[in-house]
Chain A
């Protein structure tokens, strides 16, 4: 290992620490895919334009193709493989499945990671470009379809599953509804 071209990093991925030596040029995306066999995270453009590689780094949405692996040292990373807990799908995943929020499925891991973060960002009161009242004391704006679409717009879906994805995010945001209510929805 040549220290001028590679370094040892520890990546905390989905609650598990991985220590590995990486080429300094290696992106977080390639480290996940090529080194750790975590291929759920997809490479759509490798330029930060499509969102397919979206993961959560310290809880925030990140396009992993634009993050070098060495810059993710000691960070907490959540990939699509870590969204479900104990074999039970996350409400976002379940809603995508039930409402057909995907077609080819290639953008789906990024859409799901993004959606999980959108719900957290919204609950924390973060405004978006379409939020009417952006004062901190205003609290979370209503999670309208327009809010969801705006907040999800960094994730392209060429199959055109956007309407189902927006519905799925809305459904996942309302976990309090009972199954009976779901059935008539």
Chain B
């Protein structure tokens, strides 16, 4: 094993920074790429989950007898016959497992759509029909799914950061300020809606459990299965070669656990694929938020008081904090500064991480409030932000490892044509359209987590990298090929990167915008040592030469700093005064997101994030029915995500911003693209119409109801 290199050994051979089409691209455009539910297995049985139809209560009976007589049905698993699982542990990411995944352990129903049984049959059609025929009776209890600000049972909760931070006398400062903004903002329940449903096939093979899955981290899921089923770590292998999107939702879920139970009971391979409707209650979502932002500033716009409070819902079985107040701890300082994240437990499914958890909804409220403050102060919104750039972390007091937000705004303003903007709202009209532009700032933490990698030199002059990374559409496989090529000082064509296999050893998940950075570090460490070991001119033995790396010590030795990617978002909208429809005409994002490994795929990721911002601002909203406790229209028609016609040309670019403490200079850009994007759209809608929309999405009916003389 080798330790990781420190900064200063960065190689600049040339592959990193050059556009490269995806190494698996041909497989993906020809249909040859096999996703989790695509791999054939001999003797495969199919499981179909049965979900609760009540929102709270107890299971009285599961009437399996009739279903077991149906054609092809092999077994029905439920709380009366399923093996007991261990859920009393803290997983790889530092949190206990969501009990929604630990299926069939008791008779309690904590929310609508809770898994109550798995029907396994010879064919998918037989399993589905039997699952729909299975009668489950319940003892119903009253449920409460009403999320709103001011719930008396809300409480501060830590999650991944302290619940509350506080300094200064907020009320005194607010009272002394020339300009005050005090507004409430809401964001709705939002769903990941990745295109590939969760799917897993489990089988026992020579005493080893093998799970072919679609997930964001094979060692993450394997570790959970080991702990839950009390197995030896070496007895579990999880593979996940191609993943059809994740966005935070693809960890351990009911499908893997129920498939393992069934494969164990039947001693044959069992596949469980979630239906699109099941995904809406089983795989997490972004909680709705109710936020209050109070800003107080001097006459010239300098912040003296800042308060950001964010409330989200969680289930009764798992505490998840959507830390909307987090961005204020990084972006803006004030003499009096208070932030708080609170949760309320309801009879709803467990929320989870979803692209830019905390930052996405939090930045909407904070950056919309900044725009309101700019209006009141009569200061340009960009200038207001530049006047309030913190020299150090507002809460931590730590120095920034890099703070290139101003460069993003300068470059973005130049390209967007911001200097020509008339700040007055509601004065640009084109037929029945009102036009406006808006901007907002973005930030997202740039982290690295310990990972292991192995790089092998083969006798034929090629190299193989093995790392339990996941490519959920990020382009990780391609990025790591370029990183390895540079570290080895060879052409990318001589490097093959293998990912998505827990047998490759512990590695960071594809999440937290920290995947590529964490994996690149481990790959660079192993590749550089391998290069040192290779003797020029000497033959490589037939078994090859392999070097392994582990970055735990190197990452642990990083000096504590505020490490973030930043960005400046710009949007132009047209609002139809007769229909209330808002359409985004163009969008520009300029980011400081570390060294860009592959400009082609990096741009795609940033544009994808900005597209999420449009979708969040204008479309996405899962509406919970208080009577049933379930969602109205839990599908892709009822839950609209932006499609082609909703998305204009989007431009994403970056400023030079290498991270000085990273061997490759990488930060991460999976999430920063969505941050601030919805605020930029909302601010543009105000500029167009003169009306502030503080509740997302900005639906046509809301635009029309907001009325005013201009709409």
Contact = CB atoms under 8 A, between A and B. Distances in A.
Do A and B bind? yes
Interface of A: 23, 25-26, 30, 33-34, 37-47, 49-50, 52, 79-81, 83-84, 89, 93-94, 96-98, 100, 102-109, 112, 145, 148-150, 152-166
Q: Which of A98, A107, A157 lies at the interface centre, i.e. has the most chain B CB atoms within 10 A of its CB?
A: A157
Contacts of B617: none
Closest 6 A/B residue pairs (Cβ) = A40-B31, A106-B244, A160-B611, A104-B473, A160-B608, A105-B28
Nearest to A52: B195
Contacts of B31: 38-41, 79-81, 109
A93 B30 contact: yes
B197 A103 contact: no
A23 B600 CA distance: 45
B647 A104 contact: no
A103 B21 contact: no
Contact of B197 (A43, A104, A159): A43
B29 A161 contact: no
B605 interface: yes
Contacts of A150: 644-645
B317 interface: no
Contacts of B25: 97, 102
A79 B31 CA distance: 9
A66 B656 CA distance: 49
B193 interface: yes
A102 B637 contact: no
A104 B477 CA distance: 11
A104 B645 contact: no
Contacts of B194: 104, 106, 158
Nearest to A128: B645
A44 B196 contact: yes
Contact of A43 (B30, B37, B607): B37
Q: Which range contains the number of B residues in contact with the other chain?
A: 35 or more
Contact of B29 (A26, A96, A103, A154): A96
A47 B634 CA distance: 12
Contacts of B37: 33, 39, 43
Contacts of A104: 194-196, 242-245, 472-473
29 contacts: A25-B129, A30-B125, A39-B35, A39-B38, A43-B197, A44-B196, A47-B636, A50-B276, A80-B30, A93-B30, A100-B22, A100-B600, A102-B29, A103-B245, A104-B194, A104-B472, A105-B33, A108-B28, A150-B645, A154-B643, A158-B193, A158-B195, A160-B608, A160-B609, A160-B612, A161-B607, A163-B607, A163-B647, A164-B604
Given A44-B195, A163-B647, A97 B40 contact: no
B605 A106 contact: no
Nearest to A95: B29
Contacts of B647: 149, 160, 162-163
A54 B364 CA distance: 36
Contacts of A103: 245, 473-475, 601, 604-605, 608
B195 A42 contact: yes
A34 B197 contact: no
Contacts of B242: 104-105
Interface of B: 21-22, 24-26, 28-35, 37-38, 40, 123-125, 129, 192-197, 242-245, 247, 273, 275-276, 472-475, 600-601, 603-605, 607-612, 615, 635-637, 641-645, 647-650
A124 B638 CA distance: 33
Nearest to B606: A160
A112 B32 CA distance: 13
A93 to B, nearest CB: 4
A37 B29 contact: no
B473 A89 contact: no
Contacts of A105: 24, 28-29, 33, 242, 244, 473
A23 B196 CA distance: 25
A33 B21 contact: no
A166 to B, nearest CB: 7
A108 B40 CA distance: 21
Nearest to B123: A23
Nearest to B604: A100
A23 B124 CA distance: 11
Contact of A49 (B123, B472, B635): B635
Contacts of B605: 103
A23 to B, nearest CB: 5
A89 B27 CA distance: 11
A7 B37 CA distance: 25
B26 A97 contact: yes
Given A153-B645, A163-B647, A97 B21 contact: yes
Contacts of A23: 123, 125
B195 A106 contact: yes
Contacts of B247: 158
Given A34-B124, A44-B276, A152-B644, 15 more contacts: A25-B125, A42-B196, A47-B635, A97-B22, A103-B245, A103-B474, A103-B605, A106-B244, A107-B195, A150-B645, A155-B643, A158-B193, A160-B610, A162-B644, A164-B607
B35 A159 contact: no
Contacts of A102: 25, 28-29, 473
Contact of A100 (B21, B123, B243): B21
Contacts of A149: 644-645, 647
Contacts of B612: 160
A156 B637 contact: no
Given A49-B637, A52-B195, A97-B25, A42 B35 contact: yes
A16 B606 CA distance: 41
A34 B121 CA distance: 14
Contacts of B648: 163
Contacts of B608: 103, 159-161
Contacts of A163: 607, 647-650
A109 B195 CA distance: 12
Contacts of A39: 31, 34-35, 37-38
Nearest to A109: B31
Contacts of B636: 44-45, 47, 49-50, 156
A23 B121 CA distance: 14
Contact of A108 (B29, B275, B603, B637): B29
Nearest to A167: B649
Contacts of A38: 31
Q: Which of B28, B33, B649 lies at the interface centre, i.e. has the most chain A CB atoms within 10 A of its CB?
A: B28
A42 B196 CA distance: 8
A40 B33 CA distance: 7
B601 A100 contact: yes
A40 B245 contact: no
Nearest to B603: A100
A166 B645 CA distance: 10
Contacts of B641: 156, 158
Contacts of B22: 97, 100
Contacts of B129: 25
B604 A161 contact: yes
A32 B423 CA distance: 57
A65 to B, nearest CB: 10
Given A45-B636, A89-B29, A97-B26, A106 B245 contact: yes
Q: Which of B30, B40, B273, B615 lies at the interface centre, i.e. has the most chain A CB atoms within 10 A of its CB?
A: B30
Nearest to B615: A160
Contacts of B33: 105
Contacts of A93: 29-30
Contacts of A89: 26, 29-30
A145 B645 CA distance: 9
A75 B73 CA distance: 32
Contacts of B193: 158
Contact of A97 (B29, B243, B473, B642): B29
Contacts of A33: 37-38
A30 B125 CA distance: 9
Contacts of B26: 89, 97
A57 B276 CA distance: 24
